[in-house]
Chains A and B, each alone.
Chain A
Amino acid sequence: MINPKTTATPAGERELLIEREFAAPRELVFKAWTERDRLMQWWGPPTWPIDYCTVDLRVGGAWHYRMRGPAGEEGWGKGVYREIMPSSRLVYSDYFSDEDGTEIPSGGDRRNRFRGPGWDDPGAKQDDLRERRAQGADPGHGRR
């Protein structure tokens, strides 16, 4: 286990590389990130769990979810899949949306990328993730 477990390194002008290694088969990590029932169990913080979620796992398809806050507030999010290679690679845009899935502009393009070991980068960790930094974005947005 590396310490700290999660590292964040600038990888470009608007790119932050976030890396974490998981002691689990990459097939399971990929499923945890792409199957509705599994996503609902970990994506949202305990105070803002996902209580509604749909997943349409194909390029151009989306996962669309609602997080429920402690006072009953709603926060919707949506990810549109850009690249899907089972157990190896997952790229999707990530933004706030409304109930209908319409994007709520937050001033930038955010793109999450899951990359399994051995995929196009020999030094890749078991899992890593890049986030396209939105200009002037508040990281707090990610959790609402």
Chain B
Amino acid sequence: MTADQLSLTFSALADPTRRAILARLAGGEASVTELAAPFTMTLPAISKHLKVLERAKLISRGRDAQWRPCRLRAEPLQDAEEWIERYRLLWEERFDRLDDYLSEAQARGAKSQEDHHD
């Protein structure tokens, strides 16, 4: 994936409503009305979100003018998720070490308070 595609994907994923829409579409295609149902948002507002997702190639729309179901396009999303997961893992490992350090430091602190002769 090109850096520009990744930036586009990132922008699209930065919004919680759009992430919720994608989560819904992971369960199967849906119409705009169906997608709008869980949100306190107007149809035009949802349509705007769908346009962003479509531009980022994260969803595709059917051609039928009446029934234009939205579908997840798995591949760009998967590329972005793999990229994010690599960073997440890097930081998870680092934060696991910090977590261990914090536990040890707190245990040492508690012990030195108990034992004034140390």
Query: What residues of chain A have their CB less than 8 Å away from a CB belonging to chain B?
Result: 4-16, 18, 20, 22-24, 28-29, 32, 38, 41-43, 45, 129, 131, 133, 135-136, 139-140, 142-143
CB of B41 within 8 Å of the partner chain: no
Q: Which of chain A's residues have a CB closer than 8 A to the CB of B84? A: 8, 10, 16
B60-88 interface with A by 8 A CB criterion: 80, 83-88
Looking at B29-37, B43-51, B92-100, B110-118, the stretch in contact with chain A turns out to be B92-100
CB-nearest residue of chain B relative to A6? B92
Q: Given A6-B91, A16-B87, A42 and B98 touching (CB < 8 A)?
A: yes
CB of B17 within 8 Å of the partner chain: no
Distance (whole angstroms) from the CB of A21 to the closest CB of chain B: 10
Q: Which of chain A's residues have a CB closer than 8 A to the CB of B19? A: 9
Q: Which of chain A's residues have a CB closer than 8 A to the CB of B6? A: 136
A18 touches B87 (CB 8 A): yes
Q: Which of chain B's residues have a CB closer than 8 A to the CB of A22? A: 95, 98-99, 102
Q: Which of chain A's residues have a CB closer than 8 A to the CB of B9? A: 10
